[in-house]
Amino acid sequence: MNGPELFASLSGMLGGKLQEKIEFRGESTFVILPADLREVAKFCRDDLSFDYLLDITSVDNFGDEPRFEIVYELYSMPLGIHLRLKLRLSEEEGEAPTVSDIWPTANWHEREIYDMMGIRFTDHPDLRRILMWDGYPYFPLRKEFPLEGLPSSMPDVAFSESAPLEGGPFVTLPSSATTKDREPRARRPVEQ
């Protein structure tokens, strides 16, 4: 079975559950409702051979409704085909079902999305922060979170002050110097 046949099969079997099909640069994306995620995910894994969950990401469309999108990148090892599933969530919903029991790799991806965006995954076996410390009150990848960060009132925690905007690890100055010499920390005066 090739890609177009597989996607036609998906469209035929789950026609009513597929809200929208997007084709862009040879890639297929199916938009589904959060309530249909588990059924569609199991069908993709069991019947269409999408045995590998590459990634789960989230998008904050601040100012638009629905505000959030969750994007599932699937791959079929036997067929060598990619598929993207996308959910759209309003800020009030803010929850999606877990797929960590369908693809175990989803466990940490879902924890990261919860930690950075605040989107919860119902029935997740261990939904807690994975990057930020427990009790951190913000979600740093939401668009209303300021670039300079927010101060933390937690004592003895690194980065408790707002980060300066200049001199971050990826801010370089155009020049003919090597990457090592363009790196912002290389421009700091050496203390003696």
CATH code for the domain in which residue 131 is found: 3.30.460.80
Tokens matching residue 134 = 């427990």
C-alpha distances in Å from residue 41, one per residue of 28, 35, 36: 15, 11, 8
Distance CA 179, CA 86 (A): 38
Give the number of domains in the chain: 1
Q: 135 Cβ partners below 8 Å, 6+ apart?
A: 154
Which pLDDT does position 97 carry in this prediction? 96
Instruction: Give the pLDDT confidence of 42-75 residue by residue, as tens digits.
Output: 999 998 889 999 999 999 999 999 999 999 999 9
Distance CA 59, CA 19 (A): 18
Does 59 map to a domain? yes
Distance CA 138, CA 51 (A): 34
Question: With a cut of 70, which residues of the chain have pLDDT below it?
Answer: 1-4, 152-174, 179-192
Does 82 map to a domain? yes
Does 171 map to a domain? no
Does 162 map to a domain? no
SS3 labels along 17-71: HEEEEEEECCEEEEEECHHHHHHHHHHHHHCCCCCEEEEEEEEECCCCCCCEEEE
Beta carbons of 79 and 21 less than 8 angstroms apart? no
**What is the span of the domain harbouring residue 111?**
7-139
SS3 161: coil
Nearest one of 98, 109, 84 to 38, comparing CA atoms? 98
Q: Determine if the pTM surpasses 0.95.
A: no
Does 152 map to a domain? no
Which pLDDT does position 135 carry in this prediction? 81
Which pLDDT does position 189 carry in this prediction? 61
Does 125 map to a domain? yes
Does 172 map to a domain? no
